[in-house]
């Protein structure tokens, strides 16, 4: 399995209600028009990287629904409808189900506990899942029951306290290399993987997305960008200021997959 090569991506248009999106610390309200422009640039970058885009309409009742990654997990063998742990986001999973039912022959549903896609990092080897305020042991057990029979191994880790999601602090650069913050790396969770650390002071750029030959990377973190280019990665820098106001990064804005 390749965790970095895909043919398709699902995106959902930002709702006008994105201004009400959840945030751990209020540092300002996103501008809906700028958010839409940034989202369009992100979609275009995925297209240029080879993605056929499945573009879903905005859901006004769900301010955070632009962050489609948290509602589902797409694997080569099938899709999994997750159970977001944020009460205001639980309904996003049901809203995603018809799309995945239409695209995949096999769609499983998590019926117990809570688990959000932001806590799940799929590599060529493992599915790493971080327990967090949004993802609990029952949710992880339910995921394991679905994906182990599909041939995946699940490694359960702990998302550091005060970090929203496991992937807030990391992103996959290639099948066995992750970009990660020092605080996440220090937890030992990437044993067996090659780790490139974000430069101190640029922790907010750890969440990146590898899609085929490029890495989608938030603009504004020049030292880490240089480090990654020197390591041979082809970066596409994209504006993320609006999504960052409501704790969103590169990976949350899409579900990447190859239909089975
Ligand atoms: C939330 O708090 O759920 C949203 N405002 C941000 C979700 C970001 N999702 C992700 O990192 N996978």
pLDDT in tens, 98-113: 999 999 999 999 999 9
pLDDT of 39-51, one tens digit each?
Answer: 999 999 999 999 9
- pLDDT band of residue 260 (cuts 50, 70, 90) is confident
DSSP class of residue 15 equals P
- The 3-state DSSP class for residue 127 equals strand
Q: State if residue 63 touches ligand 1 by the CB under 6 angstroms criterion.
A: no
**pLDDT value at position 60?**
98
- Looking at ligand 1, which residue's alpha carbon is closest to its atom 1? 22
Q: Which is the closest atom of ligand 1 to the Cα of 116?
A: 12
Contacts of residue 75, Cβ cutoff 8 Å, sequence gap at least 6? 1, 122, 147, 150, 152, 257
d(CA 142, CA 257): 21
pLDDT of 190-247, one tens digit each?
Answer: 999 999 999 999 999 999 999 999 999 999 999 999 999 999 999 999 999 999 999 9
Domain borders along the chain are 8-257
> In b/e form, how buried is each residue of 48-81, taking b as 16+ CB within 10 angstroms?
ebebeebebebbeebbbbbbbbbbbbbbbbbbbb
d(CA 156, CA 40): 34
pLDDT of 239-252, one tens digit each?
Answer: 999 999 999 999 99
Q: State if residue 169 touches ligand 1 by the CB under 6 angstroms criterion.
A: no
| Mean per-residue pLDDT over the chain, rounded | 97
**pLDDT value at position 252?**
98
User: Does the model's pTM come out above 0.95?
Assistant: yes
Q: Which is the closest atom of ligand 1 to the Cα of 70?
A: 12
pLDDT at 173 over 90: yes
Annotated active-site residue in 8, 152, 165, 189: 165
Name the strands in the sheet holding 52-56, side by side, starting at the edge strand that comes first in the sequence: 52-56, 8-12, 255-257
List the structure tokens of 207: 């969440």
For ligand 1, the distance from its centroid to the CA atom of residue 253, given in whole angstroms, is 9
Class (C level, CATH) for 8-257: alpha beta
**β partners of residue 237:** 217
pLDDT of 54-66, one tens digit each?
Answer: 999 999 999 999 9
252 included as an active-site residue: yes
List the structure tokens of 229: 């280019």
- CB 187 within 8 Å of CB 178: no
**β partners of residue 218:** 238
For ligand 1, the distance from its centroid to the CA atom of residue 143, given in whole angstroms, is 19
Q: Which of 172, 243, 252, 254 to mutate to test the pocket of ligand 1 (most atoms within 8 A of CB)?
A: 252
165 included as an active-site residue: yes
For ligand 1, the distance from its centroid to the CA atom of residue 211, given in whole angstroms, is 20
């Amino acid at each position: 399995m390749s965790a970095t090569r895909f043919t398709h991506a699902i995106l959902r248009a930002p709702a006008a209600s994105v201004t009400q999106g959840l945030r751990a610390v209020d540092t300002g309200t996103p501008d809906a028009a700028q958010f839409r422009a940034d989202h369009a640039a992100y979609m275009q970058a995925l297209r240029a990287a080879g993605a056929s885009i499945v573009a879903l309409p905005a859901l006004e009742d769900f301010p955070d629904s632009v962050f489609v990654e948290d509602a589902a997990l797409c694997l080569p063998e099938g899709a999994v409808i997750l159970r977001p742990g944020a009460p205001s986001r639980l309904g996003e999973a049901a809203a995603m189900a018809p799309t995945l039912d239409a695209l995949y022959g096999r769609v499983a549903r998590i019926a117990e506990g809570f688990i959000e896609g932001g806590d799940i990092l799929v590599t060529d080897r493992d599915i790493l899942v971080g327990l967090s305020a949004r993802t609990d042991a029952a949710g992880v057990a339910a995921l394991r029951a679905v994906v182990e029979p599909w041939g995946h191994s699940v490694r359960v880790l702990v998302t550091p306290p005060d970090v929203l999601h496991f992937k807030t602090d990391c992103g996959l650069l290639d099948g066995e290399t992750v970009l990660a913050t020092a605080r996440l790396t220090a937890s030992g969770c990437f044993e067996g993987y090659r780790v490139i650390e974000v430069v101190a002071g640029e922790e907010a750029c750890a969440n990146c997305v590898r899609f085929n030959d490029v890495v989608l990377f938030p603009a504004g973190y020049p030292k880490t960008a240089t480090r990654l280019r020197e390591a041979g990665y082809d970066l596409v820098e994209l504006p993320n200021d609006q999504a960052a106001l409501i704790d969103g990064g590169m990976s949350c804005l899409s579900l990447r997959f190859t239909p089975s």
